[in-house]
Amino acid sequence: MILATAETGTGEFGFSDADFRDLARLARAEYGLSLADSKKPLVYSRLARRLRARGVEKFQDYMALLNDDAEADERLELITALTTNVTSFFRERHHFDMLASELLPDCGHHGRIRLWSAGCSSGQEAYSIAMTLRDSLADIDRRDVRVLATDIDPAIVRRAQNGRYPKEEQSAIPAHLSRQFTRRCNSDPDHFEMTDDVGKLVTFAELNLMTTWPFRGPFDGIFCRNVAIYFDQDTQQKLWTRFAEMLRPGGYLFIGHSERVSGPATASFRSVGVTAYRKIVPSEQSTTKGRET
């Protein structure tokens, strides 16, 4: 494929700097995505297939589609094309160890436990949380324990709800958890699936993090890992603040390995591990005020 050049916009469809800026404005306004000028060739290569699929001859016409209120599905195709759903079971294992060793004991014997996988992709993170809960809480069936898992992409949410994965992904699950909470998929021997007692803990839903959230919390823990990397600093800082408002005092926030809480939200959190933060409880506020994490 011949990629568009920055100045002339040459290529199969023509992609001028003005076209890129229009697309970048829409992506930021609708989804919080930050598209640097250096991403122009990548954006072209990923969206060219959408123009072919829609029979569109130039990016200006594709922008007209995206701005059409009747084209909500195409705007979701846009977000799918511009982001990467890369995930695995128990990715960044230290977060799940902290969930078991610190967050859950911190909940004590409270009957209600709420965790949120924000940007859950195809579900491996949410099911890893659920398996950790099952393994750690002997009395889980007598408690009100739920995992909310959300993603902006409806197709990826449906895949997550299915709870079925290629066999090669199973090796990432600790052996004792795999024996208890996965089973062979009878309809497809090359896949495995989650057991019902894990699946019933998780509720999947579509959600754009840039819009109003249709729930109040509070959550005991939020996993939002490798999502904020797509946002500019201002959008990231607003997201950290919204997460702080959704967490109970003492609740935990787990973020991606290249992400850091910054801005006003640093007054609400203290660092408790590698890319792990705990919301400050009122009694700690005076001693941690203004601390940067």
Question: Is 46 assigned a catalytic role?
Answer: yes
Give the span between the Cα atoms of 151 and 283, in whole angstroms. 35
Averaged pLDDT, 9-22? 82
Determine the longest span between alpha carbons in the chain, in angstroms: 65
Distance, in Å, from the CA atom of 92 to the CA atom of 273, rounded to the nearest integer, reads 12
Buried b (16+ CB within 10 A) or exposed e, 218-256: ebbbbbbbbbbebbeeebbbbbbbebbebbbeebbbbbb
DSSP strand E in 84-173: where? 112-118, 144-151, 164-166
Q: What is the mean pLDDT of residues 200-209?
A: 97
The token duo for 128 is: 């890893």
- Give the tokens for residue 15: 């992609």
State the catalytic residue, choosing from 151, 153, 220, 278. 151
**For residues 220-249, average pLDDT:** 96
Candidates 272, 212, 255, 261; CA nearest to 236 is: 261
Token pair belonging to 243: 């997460």
Q: What does the pLDDT read at residue 291?
A: 46
Q: Which two tokens stand for residue 62?
A: 């594709």
To the question of whether residue 225 is assigned a binding role by annotation, the answer is yes
Is 151 labelled a binding residue? Answer: yes
Q: Average pLDDT in the 100-125 region?
A: 94
Which numeric CATH code is attached to 17-82?
1.10.155.10
Q: How sure is the predictor about 11, in pLDDT bands with cuts at 50, 70 and 90?
A: low
Identify the pLDDT of residue 1: 23
pLDDT of residue 282: 85
| 97 annotated as belonging to a binding site for a ligand | no
pTM of the model as a whole = 0.87
pLDDT given for residue 285 in this prediction: 65
Tell me whether residue 87 is annotated as binding. Answer: yes
Of residues 110 and 92, more confidence is placed in 92
17, 22, 46, 143: the catalytic one is 46
Top-level class of domain 93-282: alpha beta
Rounded mean pLDDT, 78-82: 86
> What's the pLDDT at 166?
96
Are the CB atoms for 90 and 96 separated by under 8 Å?
yes
Tell me, yes or no, if 134 is annotated catalytic: no
Sign of the torsion angle spanned by Cα atoms 126, 122, 59, 228: positive
Mean pLDDT within 25-49: 91
Report, as an integer, the average pLDDT of 81-102.
Answer: 92
At residue 287, the pLDDT reads 53
Q: Are 56 and 68 contacting, i.e. CB atoms less than 8 angstroms apart?
A: no
Burial class of 270 by CB neighbour count within 10 A (0 to 12, 13 to 18, 19+): middle
* Residue 14, pLDDT score: 84
Q: Which residue ranges make up each domain of the chain?
A: 17-82, 93-282
Confirm whether 17-82 and 93-282 share one CATH topology. no
Residue 125 assigned as binding residue: yes
